Amino acid sequence: MLYGTAGFAWADTRVSATAVGVTASDSQVHSGWTAGAGVEVMFAPHWSVKAEYLYRDLDSKTYFSDIVPGGLDSGSIKLHSAQVGVNYHF
């Protein structure tokens, strides 16, 4: 079976920085979209193997705006991922 997928994506990120023995951290939630495609093939009764590729495009966020004037911009985040798996069908 060949398939495509698309939808909403989000990532909860935390950034930490240490300088002169002091550590500061900040967290943001990036949102965006995802799209991908995959294939799944039955190789035995109740068993299948699959491979999938996903692309995620997440928005930019500003970190440490309370510490650094103007903050630090993350820029947009673009992720490529591939995964494989084996499934058992009940």
Decide if 18 is inside a domain. no
Decide if 72 is inside a domain. yes
The model's confidence at residue 16, banded by pLDDT at 50, 70 and 90, is very high
Give the pTM: 0.76
Phi, psi of 76 (to 5 degrees): -70, 150
Domain of 63, in residue numbers: 2-7+31-88
Decide if 59 is inside a domain. yes
**Which tens digits make up the pLDDT trace of 63-75?**
998 888 888 888 8
pLDDT for residue 37: 98
Decide if 13 is inside a domain. no
Decide if 44 is inside a domain. yes
> First vs last Cα of the chain: how many Å apart?
18
Decide if 51 is inside a domain. yes
Decide if 46 is inside a domain. yes
Give how many domains the chain has, as a whole number: 1
Decide if 21 is inside a domain. no
Would you say residue 43 has pLDDT above 90?
yes
Would you say residue 90 has pLDDT above 90?
yes
The model's confidence at residue 89, banded by pLDDT at 50, 70 and 90, is very high
